[in-house]
Structure 1
Amino acid sequence: MRAPILVPTVLRNLAKKPATNLFPETEPVPIPEDFRGIISYNVDKCVGCRMCVTVCPAGVFVYLPDIRKVALWTARCVFCKQCVDVCPTGALRMSNDFLLASYDNYDDKFIPLKEEKIEEVRRKLEEKKKAKGQGV
């Protein structure tokens, strides 16, 4: 009877080192230049064009019309980078962060636009409206 084809491969690999990086015990491997980490969002650059909302296949973006910005739920992200490619102002970019494990989908690291920042943007918009009203 002939030995299965996999047996020689298994025996050869028993003597080799693991092909994977034992990350928690060792340093992680260097990140390549075109790595797609978690989305980084610069709220101040965002003009509220909603292009990211249109192209996102995972439904990460929610448009907030009262402040003309988008809110992100990055725990849904599939790292396709379509939003980054389509953003006209460069408000979105892919970071090098890859340690994303969490038991909580509502963890702070998954919500770049927090309630405090939304309130700050609302205050700035109101101040601009008041300044325009006084300047007329």
Structure 2
Amino acid sequence: MVTMTLASLLGGLAPGVLDTGTLISPGEARRLAAEHGLIPVVLGTKSEVLDVGSKARFHTQAMRIGLRVQHRTCTVQGCTVPAAWCHAHHKTPWALSRRTSLADGTLVCGPHHRKIHHPAYTTTYDPGGTTHLTRTRR
């Protein structure tokens, strides 16, 4: 997945960014778009169904793309694992909410995902998108 501005796509000079965090030249990003098809992601619109309610347990491909656009890395404070290597995670456990949505989703790397589900840790999410893990005493 490559993220770039519309201005760069149309000939501007800002680089594209791979979901691994690697910067690529605007020319390379335009070449990739031309060769592999262009799937634009427009933030803030409702042209894509991003909330599937209780019909689906797992995040859809569209939701995963949305999360990768929103978060370049694992959302746990200080983690730099690229979004491409992260898991989509429900902030509210699915068993409690029975809902899968972009708004309730976040990205976490494998090691942090295991800690989130481990009883020795407490997880909190701040409004800015950062996930905080705290080890609790047992």
* TM-score range normalised by the length of the shorter chain: under 0.3
Q: Write 1 or 2 for the structure with the bigger share of strand.
A: 2
The structure having more radius of gyration, on CA atoms, is 1
Q: Write 1 or 2 for the structure with the bigger share of helix.
A: 1
- TM score, norm. by length of structure 1: 0.19
